[in-house]
Amino acid sequence: MRDVPDSHPRAVSLRIRNAIVEGVEMGITSPHGLLAHGRGEAFDYLIGEKTQPFAKRAIKAAAALLLTAKHPVISVNGNAAALVPVELVRLSKVIPAPLEVNIFHASKKREKNIKTLLQKKGAENILMPGNAVLEYIDHNRRFCNREGICKADVVFVPLEDGDRCEALLKMGKKVITVDLNPMSRTAQKANITIVDNIVRALPLLVKETGQLKKRKRVQWKKIIRNYNNKAVLKQALYRIKR
């Protein structure tokens, strides 16, 4: 259903689904992205399709970590690009940090389409993969940019598969993710895990980063020091089991 009426009880969820389907049709999202989205939807249902307090805590810590970073980078895949292109561009400007196109299912055409979409949404700093290779992984995500993920100290990797998260950590980088499944490898391993739908989390992250930017570095550091990702994951699991 393309014209979802407001009266439909699942209108919001159906509209998000449409954005992913359009992403596939536009050559931005991989067909595999539809399956990943379905998995996300199931977990969203279980957390009540709302941004829960544990996600708000993680969003605040993520904003603080992105602001303290020397070389923060935002990694963009086909699902994130289809769902929140405008917010990714806004986040890139507010931090500021480059956007780096990095996809799991190899396709030069899709990488180009994602770049074009981000440019259309106003992105000024977009890096493409290919002039550097990450250690510890063998698939397409190993191709990165020398000036981006390769040299980053903090990488924002929403809707990620676990391999690269582990590789980035082994390379000494800090990883922030958005993942509705608190049990996924990425969610478990990341330094900061925002267990929320990217569609709700990204606008909040942009807002929080903008607000924290007005405060001092010492306050960002205090937020990071007081943050406990294990506790956040535990709270998310508790919410799911309830």
Question: Site residues (CB under 6 A) for ligand PTJ?
Answer: 30, 32-33, 36-37, 39-40, 43, 77-79, 83, 103-105, 159-161, 178-181, 184, 197-199
- Residue 76 carries which side chain, given as an amino acid letter? V
Give the span between the Cα atoms of 24 and 29, in whole angstroms: 5
CB of 17 to ligand PTJ, least distance (A): 10
In the complex with ligand PTJ, the residue whose CB is nearer, 206 or 220, is 206
In the complex with ligand PTJ, the residue whose CB is nearer, 77 or 92, is 77
In the structure, how many helices (H) and strands (E) does the chain have?
11, 8
CB of 108 to ligand PTJ, least distance (A): 12
Of residues 64, 47, 50, 51, the one with CA closest to residue 227: 64
Of residues 238, 224, 205, 175, the one with CA closest to residue 94: 205
Give the span between the Cα atoms of 25 and 76, in whole angstroms: 18
CB of 42 to ligand PTJ, least distance (A): 8
In the complex with ligand PTJ, the residue whose CB is nearer, 44 or 220, is 44
Give the span between the Cα atoms of 148 and 40, in whole angstroms: 27
CB of 219 to ligand PTJ, least distance (A): 28
Give the span between the Cα atoms of 224 and 204, in whole angstroms: 17
Give the span between the Cα atoms of 217 and 170, in whole angstroms: 26
Tokens of 6: 């407001």
CB of 206 to ligand PTJ, least distance (A): 16
In the complex with ligand PTJ, the residue whose CB is nearer, 24 or 67, is 24
In the complex with ligand PTJ, the residue whose CB is nearer, 19 or 132, is 19
CB of 105 to ligand PTJ, least distance (A): 4
Other Cβ atoms closer than 10 A to 80: 27
Give the span between the Cα atoms of 5 and 181, in whole angstroms: 29
Give the span between the Cα atoms of 176 and 29, in whole angstroms: 21
In the complex with ligand PTJ, the residue whose CB is nearer, 110 or 220, is 110
CB of 39 to ligand PTJ, least distance (A): 4
In the complex with ligand PTJ, the residue whose CB is nearer, 43 or 54, is 43
